[in-house]
């Protein structure tokens, strides 16, 4: 239950910030262009807070936090007194109307740059992308990528960590081959390897890009010796102690495989489990009842213990940061790369290279917000930047109910010298609403199917 509340709270905070940024872009430029703004609302439905400023603009926080809007004076919507006609949106030049509409998505991109700047200024804890192993007969194994080698570039892009690699690989979906540069730990020279991805079966909703290629990232060895026992946890109540080595679960040998043990416990929430541990060179039998917590809508068992880990090798752990001056160009580049990648993914959705099963809706966003906030502020900043970019791009799609649709109409007006006829606009709005509803339905269905 706590996970649901945490995810929901993180989602509301994240969406509230991003909607406010987007709508403020419209609001600020509208004011600069001399348009009277009647209402600035974050959320829809019943207002829970409101205030009116000296310009007559009503600022509202509404009950349903799934969007927002800026209501401007407009003769097409309401009757406007003659003395206020010059303040109406529809009476502004086409260039001003384009600027007002484009300001929302541009504000989202600007926010992403600021968020990434703060992220790089603080520094992002990460690990260098050393290959731990290759799955037998996998694409990576057939390309002879070096085990224990460090990946330094993917498809011509320099990479610092596994997140960079994942982004670069996703951008190569649909390509028949991918060039990867890697070097051995004792070498300063990188060698290029070509992965044959003509038959690459990558389903992002089921697995990661790395796993689908057969690349196993290096990680310190996890032992089945207990390093931490949480106070008041199921493990503590059962008598498990720091230093115990797990030998068997319900009579089945664990064989020093922590992942196997963790998976078994996860499936046995609120059930009696027989454990055998090695304590002071003697085998001790214990009975434990794992506590339950909700993970992705399902009950999962947990004991409240952590295993002993080998230390990371020297030089593997890094902090990605660029200082006060260096963080700005890096944040600009990261934002640009994500904008390009997002448009490429939209193109691949249209061509069928990427399945619509990869679309995500509010549930996935809420889970992502909760997870990133749980990892720490710097990761939440990265999540906000990513969602802000996606929000900006979605609003630029040429659907009449979105900013991109309005921009399309104004560009046509700019080229032809006259507005798009009202009937055509109305048909466009209906088509746009239907298309957007279809996309949202697919995204929400995908969210529910992943629970």
Q: Helix H segments across 37-161?
A: 94-122, 139-142
- N residues, the chain: 451
Q: Which domains does the chain have, with CATH numbers?
A: 93-123+326-450 (no CATH), 126-220+311-320 (2.30.42.10), 222-309 (2.30.42.10)
Residues 6 or more apart from 364 whose CB is under 8 A from it? 443, 446, 447, 450
* Stretch 69-75: mean pLDDT: 91
Lowest mean pLDDT among 93-102, 288-297, 360-369: 360-369
pLDDT above 60 (res 444) = no
**Active-site option among 23, 150, 172, 330:** 23
The confidence band for 274, taking pLDDT boundaries of 50, 70 and 90, is: very high
Task: Tell me how far apart the terminal alpha carbons of the chain are, to the nearest angstrom.
Answer: 15
SS3 161: coil
The confidence band for 431, taking pLDDT boundaries of 50, 70 and 90, is: confident
For tokens 């979605």, the residue is: 394
The answer to whether 100 and 89 are in contact (CB under 8 A) is: yes
pLDDT above 50 (res 335) = yes
Lowest mean pLDDT among 116-130, 220-234, 263-277, 419-433: 419-433
pLDDT above 60 (res 267) = yes
pLDDT above 70 (res 113) = yes
Q: What percent of the chain has pLDDT over 70?
A: 88
pLDDT above 70 (res 325) = yes
Structure tokens at 193: 């390897």
Q: Is the dihedral of CA 344, 350, 351, 353 positive or negative?
A: positive
For the question of residue 23 being annotated catalytic, the response is yes
* Stretch 11-32: mean pLDDT: 91
pLDDT computed for residue 366 by the predictor: 47
For 116-154, b/e burial (b = at least 16 CB within 10 A) is: bbbbbbeebebbbbbbeebeeebbbbebebbeebbbbbb
Q: Identify the burial level of 182 via C-beta atoms within 10 angstroms of its C-beta, where 0-12 means exposed, 13-18 middle and 19 or more buried.
A: buried
* Stretch 66-82: mean pLDDT: 88
Average pLDDT of the chain, as a whole number = 86
The confidence band for 379, taking pLDDT boundaries of 50, 70 and 90, is: confident
Structure tokens at 398: 């040429």
The confidence band for 386, taking pLDDT boundaries of 50, 70 and 90, is: confident
- What is the rounded distance in angstroms from the CA atom of residue 359 to the CA atom of residue 208? 15
Helices (H) and strands (E) in the chain, counts: 12, 18
SS3 330: helix
Q: What percent of the chain has pLDDT over 90?
A: 50
SS3 219: coil
């Amino acid at each position: 239950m706590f996970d649901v509340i945490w995810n929901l709270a993180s989602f509301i905070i994240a969406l509230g910030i991003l909607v406010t940024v987007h709508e403020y872009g419209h609001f600020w430029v509208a004011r600069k262009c001399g348009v009277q703004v009647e209402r600035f609302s974050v959320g829809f439905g019943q207002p829970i807070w409101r205030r009116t400023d000296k310009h007559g603009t009503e600022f509202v926080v509404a009950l349903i936090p799934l969007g927002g809007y800026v209501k401007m004076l407009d003769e097409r919507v309401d009757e406007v007194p003659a003395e206020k006609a010059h303040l109406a949106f529809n009476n502004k030049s086409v260039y001003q109307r384009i600027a007002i509409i484009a300001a929302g998505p541009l504000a989202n991109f600007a926010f992403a740059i600021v968020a990434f700047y703060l992220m790089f200024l603080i520094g992002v804890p990460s690990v260098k992308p050393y290959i731990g192993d290759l799955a037998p007969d996998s694409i990576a194994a057939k390309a002879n990528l070096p085990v224990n080698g460090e990946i330094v570039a993917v498809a011509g892009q320099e990479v610092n960590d596994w997140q960079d690699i994942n982004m670069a690989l996703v951008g190569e979906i649909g390509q028949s081959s991918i060039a990867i540069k890697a070097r051995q730990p004792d070498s300063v020279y990188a060698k290029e390897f070509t992965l044959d991805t003509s038959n690459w079966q990558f389903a992002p909703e089921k697995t990661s890009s790395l796993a689908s290629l057969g690349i196993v990232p290096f990680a310190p060895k996890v032992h089945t010796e207990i390093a931490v026992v949480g106070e008041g946890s199921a493990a503590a109540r059962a008598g498990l102690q720091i230093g115990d080595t797990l030998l068997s679960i319900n009579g089945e040998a664990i064989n020093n495989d922590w992942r196997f043990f963790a998976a078994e416990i996860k499936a046995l929430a609120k059930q009696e489990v027989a454990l055998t541990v090695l304590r002071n060179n003697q085998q001790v039998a214990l009975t434990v009842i794992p506590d339950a917590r909700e993970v992705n809508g399902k009950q999962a068992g947990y004991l409240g213990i952590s295993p002993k880990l080998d230390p990371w090798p020297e030089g593997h752990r890094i902090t990605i940061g660029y200082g006060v001056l260096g963080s700005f160009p890096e944040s600009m580049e990261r934002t640009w790369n994500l904008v390009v990648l997002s448009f490429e993914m939209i193109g691949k959705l249209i061509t069928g290279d990427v399945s619509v099963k990869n679309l995500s809706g509010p549930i996935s966003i809420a889970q992502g917000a909760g997870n990133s906030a749980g990892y720490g502020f710097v990761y939440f900043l990265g999540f906000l930047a990513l969602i802000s970019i996606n929000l900006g791009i979605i609003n630029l799609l040429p659907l009449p109910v979105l900013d991109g649709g309005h921009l399309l109409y104004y560009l046509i007006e700019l080229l032809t010298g006259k507005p798009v006829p009202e009937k055509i606009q109305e048909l466009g709005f209906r088509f746009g609403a239907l298309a957007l509803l279809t996309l949202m339905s697919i995204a929400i269905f995908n969210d529910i199917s992943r629970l």
